[in-house]
Structure 1
Amino acid sequence: MPTVWRITTARFAQSAFSGEGARAYGGRWNPKGWEVVYTAESQSLALLELMVQDEPLRAHYVLIPAQIPDDLAQSRIDADGLPADWRTLGTREVLQSLGLAWLKSARTAVLNVPSAVLPAERNYLLNPRHPDFARIVIGEPQSLQTDTRLLRNLDTPL
C-alpha cells in the first residue's frame, strides 16, 4: 500500500484532507471551486512543494501520511504529454483544465501527476468527493520541525 504525504500547520491538520484550501484558492491542477487534496510521493518532495508555496516558511508543521490501497484505480498524467513549458505559471489554465476533466469524469479518486518542482517525482491528487476516497487510510499527524538552515539562502539571488 503506497504512502503519500501532506504537510500543513497543526492548525489545519484536522481538515488537511478536505480539499477546502484548493477549493477556495485553486491550484496548479484545479480551478477555484473544486476540492482537491495535494499529496506527494515522499516526505522530502512534500517539503519541497511546501517551500515553493508557503512564504515565509514556518519552523513547525505536521506531516500526515495517507495510504492508497494497491487495488485502488489511479489516473495518470505524464510530463511527455504536457506542453513543453508546463512547469511555468503561463500554462496553469491548461493544467487546471486537465485536472478539472479528471474531477468531472469521476473515474478515479487519485490522479498521479509529475511534480513541477522536481519532475522526476510524483504528486498524487486526491478527490475527496469520489466514493473511493473513503478507502484511502489517513494517518495521524506527526510533528515536523523544519531545519532553519533551509531558510538561510532563500533571499540570495541566483
Structure 2
Amino acid sequence: MTPQILDRTVPGSQIGNPTGAYPIFDATGSTIAPRRWNTAGSPLIYPSEHFSTALLEKLVHGSGRLQPNQHFIQLTFPKGLSYEVFSPPALPGWDEMPATVSKAFGERWYGERRSAILIVPIGVARLYRNILVNPAHPDSRAIEASLLQPVFWDRWLFAA
C-alpha cells in the first residue's frame, strides 16, 4: 500500500465514556484490550466512518450490554491528511480469529508511520469501515474532534 493524501475532509465518529479512565479520542484502551488491528505495543484509535457503525462496534465489544454514560464525538479528518485504504484481497486471513494476521499488519503500519490513518473494513459489517488513527504519526494532530454529545440507547436494540 502506498500512502495518499486526502483531497477532501472526511467525517468520522467515536463513542466512549467522557468520565472514564481515558478520553474518548485516545489510544490507551487499545493497549489494555487490543483489537483486530493492534497489539499492546501498537496503540491505535478506532473511530468509524459513521455514528451508526460506531454504535454497532460498541454493542459488539460490549457483548450486547449497555455501557453507562456513553457520549460521541464527530471527527474531521482534514484535507491534506495522509491515509491508506486496506485491501482485503491483499492480505488473506485478515478476518480470521485469532487475529494474528491483521494484528501483525496493524503493528507494522503503526511502526512504519506511513500514514496518519488507515481505512479498514469492520469485521462484523464489512461493507462499512473503521478509520484507524496512528497517534504516533505527526499528522494525526490535525484531526479535529467536536464537543461531546450523549448517546441515547433505544430500547428496541434490546427487545426480545
TM-score (norm 2): 0.86
Counterpart secondary structure, 1:15: coil
Could you tell me which runs of 5 or more consecutive residues in structure 2 were left unpaired when the two chains were aligned.
1-8
In 1, distance between residues paired with 2:97 and 2:17? 25
Structure 1 residue 33 corresponds to structure 2 residue 41: yes
Q: Which residue of 2 aligns with 1:61?
A: 70
Q: Aligned in 2, Cα 1:14/1:142: closer, same or farther, shift over 3 Å?
A: farther
Question: Which residue of 90, 93, 96 corresponds with 1:81?
Answer: 90
Could you tell me which runs of 5 or more consecutive residues in structure 1 were left unpaired when the two chains were aligned.
154-158
Question: Which residue of 69, 80, 84 corresponds with 1:71?
Answer: 80
Question: Which residue of 138, 144, 159 corresponds with 1:131?
Answer: 138
Whether the aligned pair in 1 keeps the contact of 2:86 and 2:120 (CA below 8 Å) is yes
Structure 1 residue 115 corresponds to structure 2 residue 122: yes
In 2, distance between residues paired with 1:112 and 1:9? 24
TM-score (norm 1): 0.87
Q: Which residue of 1 aligns with 2:29?
A: 21
In 2, distance between residues paired with 1:71 and 1:96? 27
Q: What's the offset of the Cα at 1:44?
A: 0.5
Q: What's the offset of the Cα at 1:142?
A: 0.8
> Higher helix share goes to which structure?
1
Q: Aligned in 2, Cα 1:149/1:88: closer, same or farther, shift over 3 Å?
A: farther
Whether the aligned pair in 2 keeps the contact of 1:13 and 1:62 (CA below 8 Å) is no
Counterpart secondary structure, 2:71: strand
| Equivalences for residues 134-149 of structure 1 within 5 A | 134-149=141-156
Q: Which residue of 2 aligns with 1:100?
A: 107
Counterpart secondary structure, 1:120: strand
The share of aligned pairs that are identical, in percent, is 29
Q: Aligned in 2, Cα 1:95/1:122: closer, same or farther, shift over 3 Å?
A: same
Instruction: Count the aligned residue pairs.
Output: 151
Whether the aligned pair in 2 keeps the contact of 1:10 and 1:62 (CA below 8 Å) is yes
In 2, distance between residues paired with 1:11 and 1:101? 32
What amino acid is aligned across from residue 144 of structure 2 in structure 1? V
